[in-house]
């Protein structure tokens, strides 16, 4: 699932401006043990700066226009502390106008829309989304993050128009186009500070705008914590957060820190809770060095509540979590970052995300992320990505972490020099290396420095829930995927992909070695799955085990290779009890645009690097109803214009299909063992004179319904293979 486009916008929307405030409160808890005795001035205790850390809540009553709240129990509330009060303060937040093209480019707060009337009956936080669905103009609208559209083709009157929950809106006059969207949240929450306490009456800095007899009154530590962070940075001190639940109405900034440590007393019981707020619990913004330890971060949206994506009326994908986002932590250009023993759950958006400036080849910005390490952290029950780079930050290391429930990717990003080592992953999307955000163009600096260089090794992927595996895709180079364990896996384990969606480059230079891939699955809905799938050029696949325990599983493919991948070497792999052992695919495309009788654009073929073969002298077979109807030879490919050219004219039109293959593929598939498979070897790609299948052991094993050991329909050189168990009458070992 590819929803990478929202990442850059999410980095901005996750973090809201927080005002400083709060007065000293009671001291509590000890400072970090690592602090030398007598060095108490090196740390600030947030309790000394007004943070309560209290999970206490009570009921209260408010009056429209009054700053006073009568509560059932004043308990541990103190003057100077922040509070959040539900049901008493109707307001409209985060109004955003999204463009009709790529939604995440050029979004603006200038909606020009009038909003009024929310009655609070639908809940304390409702997100409204309105999208132009025709040029008339008409619109459709939703109040549940686009899970359902409540109205469609509603004419725009430029007068007040009703939605749900009493809300009425009035559009401004502008050049509306299909795909234009406006989003906003209707909330009833009051966030303020206690100025006086008299018995059970709290006097706040701000007044309610709604009378409510059943308001929920809670502590809010956003302002006190922000004040502590700001002061620590000014005074070059560190921040200590004692055990407690610190409720956040908005995210917290760590801005321009020279060197700061933020440390909780307990990774289990020191909690930053943004379940009723929006933003990143910790947003690191520039600065030199930040260390964060021993915290639990809690949001408001788990896997079950994930809103998913929808397609706009102008044809773009949009991820609705953008509209009600929360995140564990974000990094924007901070040079050195360490998160250690930090545990996040129920985050609606990217849980840990980096999205700042980056190197462009030799061009180096004044400040950017040079090192970000996540050590012994965890992500649990989160709706979107666990770890994400939507920039090209360098030296991101995810080490010995646990991911259990991530609705999108376990890791996704185009960062450089990535290490994903020693982690445990289950119920999550793939570890995706590369994946350049599709809002970015085909930049020249990709050729100078490369992208997505990564080592993915020594991880355990257990087949519980979502099974995303490991994918190298969209421009990644220099990737090692080694010594990983896949247990009872019900999904594709490893994919070296040449796909170039959104005009990216194909991946290349990949080594896949030493992995043990158990594709056994006994659940109710087994997936068709592949152990290792290769379509990327310059790929080595060796010393892997791919198997199913017990009987052969017809839904499993061990190794799959696709035409178009050059310089592939696969050896010393052990493949057992798979429906298909080793198989090949053809590379196909479809004409999308013609410039003349020789020049066209297409979809399906990788949009190659300018330093590649550029499809010179590649063979093209034209198809009609999936049958060959002619042949051509490529003259080449223009990586700037994204155009392909034939050597000879051809009467071609949009929608014509074709297959291509190189004059020389340089495949060397040798010294592998394939046993117990229904279709042990199926070489149905085109192949070439340099495509070798040699010195392999193909043995029937327990596959009682296997008919041929090797099936060939293309040009493959077979040398020195040993075939065993295929000796019955009318059951040949090789079928050409």
CA distances from 671 to 538, 543, 666, 695, 696 (A): 19, 10, 16, 5, 4
Is a pLDDT exceeding 70 seen at residue 173?
Answer: yes
CB 334 within 8 A of CB 287: yes
Report the pLDDT value the prediction gives residue 21, as an integer from 0 to 100: 33
Report the pLDDT value the prediction gives residue 25, as an integer from 0 to 100: 35
- The contacts of residue 689 (CB under 8 Å, 6+ apart) are 664, 715, 717
Q: Tell me which long-range contacts 633-640 makes (C-beta under 8 A, separation of at least 24).
A: 634/660, 635/598, 637/608, 639/442, 639/607, 639/608, 639/609, 639/610, 639/614, 640/610
- The contacts of residue 128 (CB under 8 Å, 6+ apart) are 141, 142, 143, 163, 164, 167, 169, 183, 184, 185, 186
Is a pLDDT exceeding 50 seen at residue 27?
Answer: no
CB count within 10 Å of CB 624 equals 10
Report the pLDDT value the prediction gives residue 112, as an integer from 0 to 100: 93
Instruction: For residues 594-600, give the mean pLDDT.
Output: 97
Report the pLDDT value the prediction gives residue 442, as an integer from 0 to 100: 67
Is a pLDDT exceeding 60 seen at residue 28?
Answer: no
Is a pLDDT exceeding 80 seen at residue 20?
Answer: no
Report the pLDDT value the prediction gives residue 389, as an integer from 0 to 100: 87
Report the pLDDT value the prediction gives residue 242, as an integer from 0 to 100: 98
Is a pLDDT exceeding 60 seen at residue 199?
Answer: yes
Report the pLDDT value the prediction gives residue 359, as an integer from 0 to 100: 86
Is a pLDDT exceeding 60 seen at residue 19?
Answer: no
Is a pLDDT exceeding 70 seen at residue 18?
Answer: no
Instruction: Report the C-alpha gap between 386 and 383 in whole angstroms.
Output: 9
Is a pLDDT exceeding 90 seen at residue 38?
Answer: no
Instruction: For residues 74-84, give the mean pLDDT.
Output: 97
CB 390 within 8 A of CB 424: no
pLDDT digits (tens, 9 = 90+) for 255-299: 999 999 999 999 999 999 999 999 999 999 999 999 999 999 999
pLDDT digits (tens, 9 = 90+) for 392-422: 889 999 999 999 999 999 999 888 999 999 9
Instruction: Report the C-alpha gap between 420 and 457 in whole angstroms.
Output: 7
Which range is least confidently modeled, 24-38, 636-650, 662-676? 24-38
Is a pLDDT exceeding 90 seen at residue 33?
Answer: no
Is a pLDDT exceeding 80 seen at residue 714?
Answer: yes
Report the pLDDT value the prediction gives residue 37, as an integer from 0 to 100: 41
DSSP codes, 130-181? EEEEETTTEEEEESSTTSS-SEEEEEP-SS-EE-STT-EEEPPPS---TT-E
pLDDT digits (tens, 9 = 90+) for 300-316: 999 999 998 999 999 99
Domains in the chain, ordered, with CATH? Answer: 91-187 (no CATH), 589-661 (2.60.40), 667-735 (no CATH)
Of 29, 62, 33, whose CA–CA distance to 246 is shortest?
Answer: 29
Mean pLDDT of the chain: 92
Report the pLDDT value the prediction gives residue 362, as an integer from 0 to 100: 79
Is a pLDDT exceeding 90 seen at residue 440?
Answer: no
Per-residue tokens: 108: 């603006």
Instruction: For residues 232-243, give the mean pLDDT.
Output: 98
Instruction: For residues 50-76, give the mean pLDDT.
Output: 97
CA distances from 114 to 110, 158, 167, 171, 374 (A): 11, 10, 10, 7, 44
Instruction: For residues 174-188, give the mean pLDDT.
Output: 97
Report the pLDDT value the prediction gives residue 184, as an integer from 0 to 100: 98
Instruction: For residues 653-671, give the mean pLDDT.
Output: 97
Instruction: For residues 665-684, give the mean pLDDT.
Output: 97
- The contacts of residue 733 (CB under 8 Å, 6+ apart) are 698, 708, 709, 710, 723, 726, 727
Instruction: For residues 560-564, give the mean pLDDT.
Output: 98
């Amino acid at each position: 699932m590819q929803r990478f486009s929202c990442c850059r916008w999410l980095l901005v929307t996750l973090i809201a401006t927080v005002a400083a405030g709060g007065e000293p409160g009671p001291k509590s808890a000890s400072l970090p043990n690592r602090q030398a005795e007598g060095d108490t001035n090196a740390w600030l205790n947030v309790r000394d700066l007004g943070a309560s850390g209290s999970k206490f809540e009570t009921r209260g009553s408010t009056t429209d226009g009054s700053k006073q709240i009568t509560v059932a129990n004043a308990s541990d509330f103190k003057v100077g502390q922040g509070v959040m009060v539900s049901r008493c303060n109707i307001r409209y937040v985060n109004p955003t106008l999204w463009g009709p093209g790529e939604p995440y480019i050029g979004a603006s707060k200038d909606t020009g829309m009038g909003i009024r009337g929310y009655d609070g009956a639908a809940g304390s936080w409702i997100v409204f989304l309105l999208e132009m669905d025709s040029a008339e103009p008409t619109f459709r609208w939703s109040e549940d993050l686009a899970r359902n559209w409540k109205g469609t083709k509603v004419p725009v009157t430029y007068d007040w128009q009703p939605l749900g929950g009493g809300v009425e809106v009035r559009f401004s006059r502008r050049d509306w186009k299909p795909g234009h969207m406006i989003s906003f949240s209707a909330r009833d929450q009051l966030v303020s500070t206690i100025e006086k306490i008299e018995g059970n009456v709290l006097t706040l800095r701000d007044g309610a705008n709604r009378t409510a007899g059943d308001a929920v009154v809670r502590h809010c530590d956003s302002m006190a914590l922000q004040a502590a962070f700001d002061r620590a940075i000014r005074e070059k001190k560190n921040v200590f957060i004692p055990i407690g639940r610190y409720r956040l109405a908005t995210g917290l900034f760590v801005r321009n820190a020279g060197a700061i440590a933020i440390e909780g007393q307990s990774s289990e019981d020191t909690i930053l809770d943004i379940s009723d707020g929006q933003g990143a619990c910790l947003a690191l913004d520039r600065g030199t060095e930040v260390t964060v330890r021993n915290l639990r971060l809690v949001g408001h949206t788990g896997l079950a509540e994930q809103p998913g994506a929808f397609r706009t009326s102008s044809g773009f994908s949009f991820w609705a979590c953008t509209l009600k986002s929360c995140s564990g932590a974000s990094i924007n250009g901070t040079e050195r970052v360490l998160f250690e023993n930090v545990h996040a759950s129920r985050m609606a958006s990217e849980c840990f995300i980096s999205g700042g400036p980056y190197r462009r080849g030799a061009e180096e910005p004044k400040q950017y992320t040079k090192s970000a390490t996540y050590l012994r952290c965890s992500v649990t029950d989160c709706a979107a990505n666990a770890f994400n780079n939507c920039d090209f930050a360098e030296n991101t290391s995810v080490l010995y972490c646990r991911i259990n429930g991530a609705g999108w990717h376990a890791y996704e990003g185009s960062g450089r020099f990535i290490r994903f080592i020693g982690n445990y992953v289950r119920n999550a999307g793939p570890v995706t290396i590369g994946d350049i955000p599709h809002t970015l163009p085909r930049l020249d600096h990709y050729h100078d420095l490369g992208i997505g260089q990564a080592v993915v090794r020594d991880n355990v992927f257990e087949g519980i829930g979502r099974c995303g595996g490991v994918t190298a895709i969209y421009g990644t180079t220099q990737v090692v995927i080694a010594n990983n364990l896949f247990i009872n896996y019900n999904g594709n384990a490893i994919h070296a992909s040449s796909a170039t969606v959104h005009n990216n480059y194909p991946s290349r230079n990949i080594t896949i070695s030493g992995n043990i891939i158990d594709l056994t699955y006994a659940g109710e809905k087994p997936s068709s799955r592949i152990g290792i799938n290769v379509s990327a050029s310059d790929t080595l696949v060796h010393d892997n085990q791919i198997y199913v325990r017990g009987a052969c599983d017809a839904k499993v493919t061990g190794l799959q290779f696709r035409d178009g991948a050059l310089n592939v070497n696969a050896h010393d792999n052990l493949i057992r009890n798979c429906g298909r052992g080793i198989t090949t695919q053809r590379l196909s495309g479809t004409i999308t645009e013609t410039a003349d009788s020789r020049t066209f654009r297409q979809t399906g073929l990788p949009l190659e690097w300018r330093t590649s073969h550029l499809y010179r002298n590649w063979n093209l077979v034209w198809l009609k109803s999936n049958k060959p109807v002619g042949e051509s030879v490529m003259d080449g490919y223009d990586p700037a214009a994204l155009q392909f050219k034939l050597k000879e004219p051809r009467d071609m039109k949009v929608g014509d299909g074709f297959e291509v293959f190189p004059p020389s593929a340089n495949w060397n598939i040798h010294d592998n063992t394939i046993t117990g498979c229904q279709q042990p070897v199926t070489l149905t790609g085109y192949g070439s004179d340099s495509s070798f299948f040699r010195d392999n052991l193909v043995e029937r094993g327990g596959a009682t319904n296997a008919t041929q050991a090797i099936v060939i329909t293309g040009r493959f050189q077979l040398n020195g293979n040993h075939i065993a168990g295929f000796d019955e009458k009318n059951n040949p070992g090789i079928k050409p």
